[in-house]
């Protein structure tokens, strides 16, 4: 589409000169003889660029610049004046003008300035579009990933945000359970109320009841004042109970009562306190197995397990690793050199084949380490020892020995299989049928193996 330019000048000859010049360059131009009429014109439709004289009767060009940036921040503004001062130029640039040019100017000079201003505006618009698109496609309230497993979780979170049901989030350490809980809370009608999180495993058993329900002054040694518990602090909002499997059985019974009756009593207190709290619980342990073992109450399990989310380990969604690396790179590098490669392909291949026992949290630490040790580009030289040692042997190389500290055989074999699947896809140019043939698999078996690791099979 033709770029639309509004020319604002109280001199008819200057307006006509610029209009003819820019029309010949392929732009669409309109004219205004004052800042006031320019603002009226802009109310009807936006412009890509405004070229305005500074010294005009009524509102001047600086006033117009301020108004344009309020009503149409994306519109570029180029100021022209016959009475240039350095102070005025500095003020104009601070207020958001693209540039400030003094009369008389050369024809080629104005052509270049107009072209550059429009190119800059197009780049800014494209950057905003891409950021919005990337944000919508690859993340959800802090969670990052484009894999099918993550897209399914985003969809489930959206549904849960519209309800008040209790949620149980399961997954290994570092998979983003608290981020999922926050996503549910901050996309719900409770977003303006407190989100209170507690790691149950980090609270001593003797203090857990007071932590949850608060206490009255003098109720035990050290209780020198009344204290609110987590249920009071989170009233109206969400209480996130991380590692709920660590809660002792006696306190589990009291938690169950709160969930059933919506009221509790402070330690040492004599009256019940009403509470309106949504519970989101999380665990990296198998709670159903704990129920069988008698270490977790079955009735409490069913009370918190209204809807369940399983956060996938990072090794099951390797296609998210490049996106996560870029995400953490932006987090740790305030002004990234966009012309530089963020991660070397060899380093990326190593990370994709690694089994990540610490999941996303471990990847974040690796990226931070590499940026500290190796500069802005992540290379194999800065990867931790345990990552490099987990390189899978090629079919022709020697058998890997079991390390002294032991190993996770299932994770190792999964990683090896995943590495071959990815390598076959790369060798086949992304054609799944050809990749299956390379590995001597049927197409159906190949698709099944891709699905097993959470890779897109569409």
What pLDDT does residue 395 have?
A: 39
H runs (alpha helix) in 319-442: 321-332, 345-353, 359-374, 385-388, 409-427, 432-438
Weakest mean pLDDT among 69-83, 88-102, 263-277? 88-102
Angle at 444 between CA 443 and CA 447, to 5 degrees: 85
**CA-only gyration radius of the chain, Å:** 31
CA-CA-CA-CA dihedral for 89, 93, 95, 98, to nearest 10:
120
Q: What's the rounded Cα separation, in Å, for the pair 87 and 403?
A: 69
For the stretch 353-393, pLDDT in tens is: 888 989 999 999 999 999 888 777 888 889 998 888 776 43
Q: pLDDT band for position 138 (50/70/90)?
A: low
Q: pLDDT band for position 133 (50/70/90)?
A: low
Q: What is the pTM of this model?
A: 0.59
Q: What's the rounded Cα separation, in Å, for the pair 204 and 208?
A: 6
Q: Which of 419, 417, 436, 418 is nearest to 428 (CA)?
A: 436
> Which parts of 85-142 are beta strand (E)?
99-102, 139-140
Residue 399 pLDDT greater than 50, yes or no: no
What pLDDT does residue 401 have?
A: 53
Q: pLDDT band for position 129 (50/70/90)?
A: low
Residue 160 pLDDT greater than 90, yes or no: yes
- β-bridge pairing 273-274 and 263-264: antiparallel
What pLDDT does residue 296 have?
A: 96
What domains does the chain contain, in order, with CATH numbers? 4-134 (3.40.50.2300), 143-312 (3.40.50.300), 315-452 (1.10.8.60)
- For every residue of 34-92, DSSP letters joined together read SHHHHHHHHHHS--SEEEEESS-SSS-HHHHHHHHHHH-TTSEEEEEESS--HHHHHHH
Mean pLDDT of all residues belonging to the chain: 85
What pLDDT does residue 87 have?
A: 72
Q: What's the rounded Cα separation, in Å, for the pair 89 and 456?
A: 54
Phi and psi (nearest 5°) for 274?
-70, 150
């Amino acid at each position: 589409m033709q770029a639309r330019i509004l020319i604002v000048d109280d001199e008819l000859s200057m307006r006509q000169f610029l209009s003819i010049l820019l029309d010949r360059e392929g732009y669409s131009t309109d004219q205004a003889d004052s800042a006031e009429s320019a603002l009226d014109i802009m109310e009807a439709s936006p412009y890509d660029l405004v070229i305005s004289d500074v010294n005009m009767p009524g509102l001047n060009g600086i006033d117009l610049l301020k108004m344009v940036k309020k009503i149409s921040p994306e519109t570029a503004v180029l100021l022209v004046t016959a009475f240039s001062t350095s102070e005025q130029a500095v003020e104009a640039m601070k207020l958001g003008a693209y540039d400030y040019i003094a009369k008389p100017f050369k024809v080629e000079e104005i052509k270049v300035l107009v072209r550059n201003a429009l190119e800059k505006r197009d780049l800014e618009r494209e950057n905003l579009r891409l950021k919005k698109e990337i944000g919508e496609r690859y993340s959800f309230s802090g969670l990052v990933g484009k894999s099918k497993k993550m897209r399914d979780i985003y969809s489930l979170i959206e549904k849960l945000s519209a309800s008040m049901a209790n949620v149980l989030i399961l997954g290994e350490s570092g998979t983003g359970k608290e981020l999922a809980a926050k996503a549910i809370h901050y996309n719900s009608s409770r977003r303006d109320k407190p989100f209170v999180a507690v790691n149950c495993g980090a609270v001593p058993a003797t203090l857990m009841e007071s932590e949850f329900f608060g206490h009255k002054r003098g109720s035990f040694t050290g209780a020198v004042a009344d204290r609110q518990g987590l249920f009071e602090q989170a009233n109206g909002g969400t209480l996130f109970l991380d590692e709920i499997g660590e809660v002792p059985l006696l306190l589990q019974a009291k938690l169950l009562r709160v969930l059933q009756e919506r009221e509790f009593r402070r330690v040492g207190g004599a009256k019940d306190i009403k509470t309106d709290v949504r519970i989101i619980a999380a665990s990296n342990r198998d709670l159903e197995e704990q129920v069988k073992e008698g270490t977790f109450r079955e009735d409490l399990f069913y009370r918190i397990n209204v809807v369940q989310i399983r956060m996938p380990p990072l090794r099951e969604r390797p296609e998210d690793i490049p996106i996560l690396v870029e995400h953490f790179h932006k987090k740790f590098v305030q002004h990234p050199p966009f012309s530089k490669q963020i991660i070397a392909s060899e380093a990326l291949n190593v990370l994709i084949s690694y089994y990540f026992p610490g999941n996303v949290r471990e990847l974040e630490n690796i990226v931070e380490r590499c940026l500290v040790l190796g500069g802005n580009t992540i290379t194999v030289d800065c990867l931790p020892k345990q990552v490099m040692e987990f390189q899978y042997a090629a079919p022709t190389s020697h058998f890997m020995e079991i390390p002294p500290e032991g190993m996770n055989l299932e994770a190792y074999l999964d990683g090896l299989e995943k590495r071959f699947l990815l390598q076959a896809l790369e060798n086949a140019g992304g054609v799944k049928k050809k990749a299956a043939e390379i590995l001597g698999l049927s197409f159906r078996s190949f698709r099944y193996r891709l699905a097993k690791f959470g890779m897109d099979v569409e």
